[in-house]
Structure 1
Amino acid sequence: MNSILDEKLKVIHITASYKPAYIYGGPIQSVGKLCEALVSLGVSDKGLGTDDLQVLTTTANGTKELDVKIGAPILINGVSVTYFKRQTKDHSHFSLGLLFGLRKRILRNHQDDSNNEMSKRQTPNAKLLIHIHAWWNLVSVLSCFVAKWYRVPVVLSPRGMLTSYTLGNRNSLSKKIIHALLGKQLLKYCHIHATSEQEKKDILKIITPKSITVIPNLVSFQFPVSNIHKLINDTFHLLFLSRIEEKKGLELLFEALAIVNIPWLLTIAGTGKSEYVQSLKRKAKELGIHEQITWIGQVSNEDKFNLLAKHDLTALTSYNENFANVVVESLSVGTPVLISKFIGLADYVADKNLGWITGLNIEEIKTGILSAYHDIEKRKEIRINAAILVNTDFNDGALAEQYVEYYKNVLFTPFPLT
Structure 2
Amino acid sequence: MNILHLTPYYAPAYAFGGVVRSVEGMARALARRGHQVTVLTTDALDSASRYSGVPEELRDRVRVLHATNISHRLRGRLNLSTPGRMQALARELLPDIDVVHCHEFRTMENLLVTPIAEELNKPLILSPHGTLTRTTGRSHLKIAWDKMLSPIVAQRFRHVLCLTPRELDDVQTLWTTFDSRKTPPGFSVIPNGIDPDEYDHLNGRAHFRTRYHLGEGPVCLYMGRLHERKGVQVLIEAFKAARVPAARLVIAGPDEGMLARITPLLDDTIILTGYLEGPERLAAFAAADVFALPAIGEGLPMVALEAMGTGLPVILSPGCSMPEAAEYGAGLIVEPACEPLSAALRELLTNPTQRESMGRKGQQLIRNQFTWDAVAVQLEQVYRSLTAVVE
Is the 2:311–2:362 Cα contact (8 Å) retained in structure 1? yes
- Give the drift of 1:268: 0.9
The CA distance in 1 between the partners of 2:54 and 2:243, in whole Å, is 54
Is 1:252 aligned with 2:234? yes
- Give the drift of 1:67: 0.9
AA aligned opposite 2:318: K
The CA distance in 1 between the partners of 2:39 and 2:205, in whole Å, is 39
- Please state whether the residue corresponding to 2:54 is helix, strand or coil: coil
Is 1:278 aligned with 2:296? no
Length-normalised TM-score, structure 2: 0.86
Q: Which residue of 1 aligns with 2:26?
A: 34
Aligned counterpart for 1:399 among listed residues 353, 375, 378: 375
- Give the drift of 1:374: 4.5
Q: Which residue of 1 aligns with 2:170?
A: 202
Is 1:219 aligned with 2:177? no
Q: Which residue of 1 aligns with 2:335?
A: 359
Is the 1:16–1:140 Cα contact (8 Å) retained in structure 2? no
The CA distance in 2 between the partners of 1:145 and 1:14, in whole Å, is 13
Unaligned runs of 5+ residues in structure 2 are 177-183, 207-214
Q: Return closer, same or farther for 1:153/1:384 CA change in 2, 3 Å cut-off.
A: closer
Q: Which residue of 2 aligns with 1:312?
A: 289
Kindly provide the CA deviation profile for residues 177-207 of structure 1, in whole angstroms up to 9, marking residues without a partner as x. Answer: 2211221342243211112222222212311
The CA distance in 2 between the partners of 1:234 and 1:306, in whole Å, is 15
Is 1:342 aligned with 2:310? no
Is 1:69 aligned with 2:54? yes
RMSD of aligned residue pairs (Cα, Å): 2.3
AA aligned opposite 1:60: A
Alignment of 1:181-192 (within 5 A): 181-190=148-157, 191-192=159-160
- Please state whether the residue corresponding to 1:164 is helix, strand or coil: coil
The CA distance in 2 between the partners of 1:86 and 1:227, in whole Å, is 37
The alignment covers a number of residue pairs equal to: 366
AA aligned opposite 1:302: P
Is the 2:6–2:103 Cα contact (8 Å) retained in structure 1? yes
Unaligned runs of 5+ residues in structure 1 are 1-8, 43-47, 110-126
The CA distance in 1 between the partners of 2:99 and 2:71, in whole Å, is 27
- Give the drift of 1:135: 2.3
- Give the drift of 1:305: 3.0
AA aligned opposite 2:135: Y
Question: Highest Rg: 1 or 2?
Answer: 1
The CA distance in 1 between the partners of 2:373 and 2:244, in whole Å, is 43
Kindly provide the CA deviation profile for residues 340-361 of structure 1, in whole angstroms up to 9, marking residues without a partner as x. Answer: 00113x2121221100101123
Alignment of 1:76-87 (within 5 A): 76-87=59-70
- Please state whether the residue corresponding to 1:65 is helix, strand or coil: coil
Is the 1:256–1:363 Cα contact (8 Å) retained in structure 2? yes
The CA distance in 1 between the partners of 2:344 and 2:297, in whole Å, is 18
AA aligned opposite 1:174: L
Q: Which residue of 1 aligns with 2:44?
A: 60
AA aligned opposite 2:131: M
The CA distance in 2 between the partners of 1:75 and 1:341, in whole Å, is 39
AA aligned opposite 2:10: Y
Give percent identity, aligned residues only: 23
- Give the drift of 1:338: 0.4
